[in-house]
Amino acid sequence: MKKIDLELTVGLFIIAGIICLGYLSVKLGKMEMIRGNGYDTYALFSNTGGIRTGSPIVIAGVDVGRVKSILLDNYQARVVLHFTENVKIQEDAIASIKTKGLIGERYIEITPGGSEKIIEPGGRIRETQPAVDLEELISKYAFGKI
């Protein structure tokens, strides 16, 4: 009787541990188990500058979504953006790839537009701004002078 009790507690602890691990991996991996009210749009960039699946999308510094996938499409990057909330993105909004600080993590910033037309789920954000290649710019303007 006593032996079964001990085994039961150990088992319960292990199960609890596995649940915790599962929760952690979902949280850390930024996976969403339940797809809420979000929707997808896509944008074409000439240079993503190292955006990854899971990179944040922000408006005014507030997280509004994540990069869902990145594909090569006619030598351009086709980035699928998943908005987790029902934010309305205007047709003339600009999606630009920014860097946190000088050498930090890349993210996508949306500057909202003023158009009355709203991008439908599955639609495209036409206006994009690729990542600025700092290295290239420096070499162009700092080392170029002879």
Q: Scan for tokens 């952690």, then name that residue.
A: 24
- Contact string (CB under 8 A) for other proteins, positions 122-141, x = contact: ----xx-xxxx----x--x-
Q: Is 102 in the site for other proteins (CB under 8 A)?
A: no
Among 102, 114, 121, 142, binds other proteins (CB under 8 A): 114
Residue-level length of the chain: 146
User: Does the footprint of other proteins cover residue 111 (CB under 8 A)?
Assistant: yes
d(CA 20, CA 26): 10
Tokens of 66: 């994540």
Out of 58, 80, 87, 112, name the contact with other proteins by CB under 8 A: 112
- At its nearest, how many Å lie between other proteins and the CB of residue 77? 13
Q: Which is nearer to other proteins, 52 or 126 (CB)?
A: 126
Residue of 96, 99, 106, 123 that binds other proteins (CB under 8 A): 96
Neighbours of 45 (CB within 10 A): 20
Size of residue set near other proteins by CB under 8 A: 21
Segment holding 138, helix H or strand E: helix 134-141
Please classify residue 57 by burial: count the beta carbons closer than 10 Å to its beta carbon, then call 0-12 exposed, 13-18 middle and 19+ buried: buried
Q: How far is the CB of 10 from other proteins (least distance, A)?
A: 58
Question: CA neighbours within 13 Å on the CB side: how many for 116?
Answer: 0
Give the residues lining the site for other proteins (CB under 8 A).
46-47, 90, 92, 94, 96, 111-114, 126-127, 129-132, 137, 140, 144-146
